[in-house]
Amino acid sequence: MKSKKAPTLNQRIRSNIESRILSGEWEPGYRIPFEHELMAQYDCSRMTVNKVLTALAESGMIERRRRAGSFVARQPPHLEQVALEIPDINVAVTERGHVYGFQLLEHAHRKAKPGVVEEVDLVGDGKLLAMRCLHLADGKPLAIERRLINPESVPETLKVDFSIHAPGSWLLQNVSWTRGEHRISAVAVNAEEAALLKVPVGTACLVIDRQTWRGEQPITWVRQKFLGDAYDLIARFAPGSR
């Protein structure tokens, strides 16, 4: 199987600029380095830099002003509208007056498994971090989580002790992302999952599949299975909202 192609120089420059904007390092109104400065920084042609800045301007993240340069837009939008926010389960449980708990069930740094779509999409035939976790509320099982992380995008994850830090919470606190996708479904738990959640086989669970990217690089894929009677999914909106 062929390896996933490495990001092009164009993609890498764009991803670097997007990350600085979305992390708040470059605030609205900040002047982005001039084209000749970016050319020197990345050792590339003016055409490459111009293509990146044009794409960022078209997405609404920057404003290009004749003879003045390029500036971070005053109201930078998301690259893609995400239907739901990404919740921190620890925070959500604690805010409701319960005691959050977490157990790391499995942890491996290994090659992606051929034929497993979510793994191959994340890292090609490279290595990934694969984890399985159990979330608890007041000592009782709340959700099972299977998480994959691309260490090439977030190399610092290789040094994190995820037996202490829940991976989802750590990522939300330490890693910026530019776009995400949610998929929501419902399933009945199998025997192994039922044993972990301490419920009868066939109990209904709400399933959330989510993937996030930073620029063109995938960061993480996760599947969370919540007990159906312990988790509500709510989206708030207003007339005219997008």
| pLDDT tens, residue by residue, 184-238 | 888 999 999 999 999 999 999 989 999 998 877 899 999 999 987 776 655 555 5
Q: How far is CA 96 from the centre of its chain?
A: 25
Contacts of 204 (CB under 8 A, 6+ apart): 186, 187, 188, 228
pLDDT for position 214:
81
* Fold of domain 9-72: Arc Repressor Mutant, subunit A (1.10.10)
Tell me which residue has tokens 């708990």: 101
CATH 1.10.10.10 spans which residues of the chain?
Answer: 9-72
CATH 3.40.1410.10 spans which residues of the chain?
Answer: 89-227
89-227 is classed CATH 3.40.1410.10? yes
pLDDT digits (tens, 9 = 90+) for 22-35: 777 888 889 999 99
Return the HEC string of 90-131: HHHHHHCCCCEEEEEEEEEEEECCCCCHHHHHHHCCCEEEEE
